Amino acid sequence: MKYLPDDYDNKGQLRLPLSFWAILLLQARTWLLFVMAGASGQQGSQLLELCYPDNHSFWLGLCLGVPAAFGLLLTGYRQRLPRLWLAWRWVLLVTLVLTLLLPFFRSWQDDVGTSDLLLLTSLLDGVALLTLLYSRRLRDCFDPAENH
């Protein structure tokens, strides 16, 4: 037996670990910031300007957060759409790789230095990528054979 009975929910699916939810939140960070900026009223535009000084980075962040938002919705359909759920791990991995590469490509192309915030989020994205790749529990959550 790989996992304890408490590691499964009442449908017989392996419970998604906390690291999965943290990865989704990390990937959807621009969406979260957008919602927080909208809720904070007049200071919202200052908050967005602080984290995303140019509009291009903001829109790129929103686009890169869409797979995480869809992955959040897809968690409730793991048993009904097992092939899509299995493929979604790879979608999240590709999105993380793009999230890691694009800011550095843009800073290299524009010859602009990297900020501490960019380095921190890139480090967290790297940890998230390694977790999605190598966490056995997380891999098993995406495997339909492990969830019956």
Average confidence (pLDDT) per 10 residues, the chain, 148 residues: 84 90 93 86 79 80 93 90 92 94 73 70 92 93 76
Instruction: Check residue 131 and give its pLDDT.
Output: 95
* pTM across the whole model: 0.85
Distances (CA, A) of 106 to 50, 100, 119: 18, 11, 14
In 2-115, which residue ranges form alpha helices assigned H by DSSP?
Answer: 18-27, 29-39, 44-51, 55-74, 82-110
CB proximity list for 31: less than 8 A, separation 6 or greater: 62, 65, 68, 69
Instruction: Check residue 138 and give its pLDDT.
Output: 92
Instruction: Check residue 28 and give its pLDDT.
Output: 93
Instruction: Check residue 1 and give its pLDDT.
Output: 64
Instruction: Check residue 97 and give its pLDDT.
Output: 95
According to DSSP, the residues that pair with 8 across neighbouring strands are 14
Instruction: Measure the CA–CA gap between 94 and 12, rounded to whole angstroms.
Output: 29
Instruction: Check residue 112 and give its pLDDT.
Output: 58
